[in-house]
Amino acid sequence: RKEVEQDPGPFNVPEGATVAFNCTYSNSASQSFFWYRQDCRKEPKLLMSVYSSGNEDGRFTAQLNRASQYISLLIRDSKLSDSATYLCVVNQGGKLIFGQGTELSVKP
Amino acid sequence: EAGVAQSPRYKIIEKRQSVAFWCNPISGHATLYWYQQILGQGPKLLIQFQNNGVVDDSQLPKDRFSAERLKGVDSTLKIQPAKLEDSAVYLCASSSSNYGYTFGSGTRLTVV
């Protein structure tokens, strides 16, 4: 079983749609959680941290369920510029473990 | 602040040749990481340094890969001899805590 598993993609959605990404992790001792965004041929960049209480940053909402070892990312009112690969990331003892990524393509 | 610098940006070599990548982390960042990202996959940690000591190299294929971080600043990652399956982007990252990672632009390696 992979340490971090994400929905297989790609997701193709129209502008303005709401899209949700799901992720599960296997190590219950994982300490912190993140969503990274990676544009084509670029390095990953931190999108947002994920907290048990849930957190929101504009159109983006992240949720963590430690009991279920489940992480989610919701993007509302998607824009063309949201097209990228979204990586679910777990911190285990100071090292980041990445999921395989889910590609999002937002169409006009 | 300046970001994580990596070179070269691109490298094409034949299988069985050797190659080296260089990384200069953000000034003051004690922790440095090398990741391998194969097309269509997420980055996979190869090695983690804390200053000039190795913290984790459990996923480094030590028969062909080596890395060093002399003086606790710059780092080099070497592959010798390269195989076709080593074709990937090699990403360097540095951090000053468990929460603050910055990635470099990566080196795209193609082995033919």
pLDDT surpassing 70 at residue B77: yes
User: Per mean pLDDT, which range of A16-25, B35-44, B97-106 is the poorest?
Assistant: B97-106
Positions in chain A short of pLDDT 50: none
- Least confident interval from A52-56, A95-99, B75-79, B99-103: B99-103
Across the A/B interface, how many CB contacts are shorter than 8 Å?
A: 46
- Whether residue B99 is predicted with pLDDT greater than 70 in this model: the reply is no
Q: Which of B66-75, B79-88, B100-109 has the highest mean pLDDT?
A: B79-88
Q: Do B42 and A45 touch (CB under 8 A)?
A: no
Mean pLDDT computed over B66-95: 95
pLDDT beyond 90 at B84:
yes
Q: Which of A31, A32, A44 sits opposite B103 (nearest CB)?
A: A44
Ordered DSSP codes for chain A: --SEEE----EEEETT--EEEEEEES-TT--EEEEEEE-TTS--EEEEEE-TT-EEETTEEEEEETTTTEEEEEE-S--GGG-EEEEEEEEETTEEEE---EEEEEE-
